[in-house]
Amino acid sequence: MKYGSAFLAIGFALLLWQGIVTLTGLPKFILPGPRLVAESWWTNRALIAEHTLITAMEVLIGLVIGTALGIASAIYLASSRVARLVIQPILVFTQALPVFALAPILTLWLGFGLGSKIAMAVLIIYFPVTSSFCDGLMRTPRGLLDLAQTMQAGHWRTLRLIRIPAALPSLASGIRLAAVYAPIGAVIGEWVGASRGLGYLMLLANGRAKTDLMFAALLTLGVFAVLLHLAVHLATRRLSGSSPDRA
């Protein structure tokens, strides 16, 4: 049902796109039609695949590192009141700063390679994972903590056996958000300075007025992002199932 309507929507979008191209008669270097883009995608498939692989690596490595850092930070924050008082305001403050503004500096520091893009992805992922997991850890049902206390439980065992499992659904939503943000971070990194990746390919095609290739790269990025989202959704489904209020 959900997928059926998705296919309908894609079909409709393609029709609309072709309709606009035909009606307005825009030159193909401004708005190429779907056919032309498809042809360009097919002729450049090796090139696109090569750059997609780079972007995918940046995103996936960024996702793993950002999620791991986020999980560790959330557990640390949830364990220490002092840490929450001192570090949380700093975290919130740094979030007010658009991460994109850091892209040039990261490129300067880490170079044109994968490193600066992974760092962008990590930076952009880190906060949603940390904050949603930490929120979940701080919202353990009061009664469970009371029970643990009467059982003479230690801090770490309470964390491991009660607070972390109870917060897994929150972690899942954080990771899902991260999967949406990660490609944005990587592509922005590529725009600022790169010699490989879909973001780089789009800039390159745009500069040479190969608008059809630009669109082909853009659509590939879109498909990758959707697939990533689905994969992460499936992977985190087990985590979401263990909510304490599911009764």
Tell me: does residue 50 bind another protein (CB under 8 A). no
CA angle 86, 90, 74 (to 5 degrees): 75
CB of 159 to another protein, least distance (A): 11
CA angle 181, 184, 188 (to 5 degrees): 145
CB of 166 to another protein, least distance (A): 8
Tell me: does residue 247 bind another protein (CB under 8 A). yes
CB of 139 to another protein, least distance (A): 15
Tell me: does residue 171 bind another protein (CB under 8 A). no
Of positions 146, 209, 226, 237, contacts another protein by CB under 8 A: 146
d(CA 223, CA 230): 11
Give whole-number Cα distances, 1 to 8, 176, 234, 235, in Å. Answer: 11, 22, 17, 21
The span of 15-23, 30-38, 111-119, 151-159 binding another protein (CB under 8 A) equals 151-159
Of positions 165, 206, 229, 233, contacts another protein by CB under 8 A: 165
Of positions 72, 147, 226, 230, contacts another protein by CB under 8 A: 147
b/e 64-92 (16+ beta carbons within 10 angstroms → b): ebbbebbbebbbebbeeeeebeeeeeebe
Of positions 64, 87, 144, 177, contacts another protein by CB under 8 A: 144
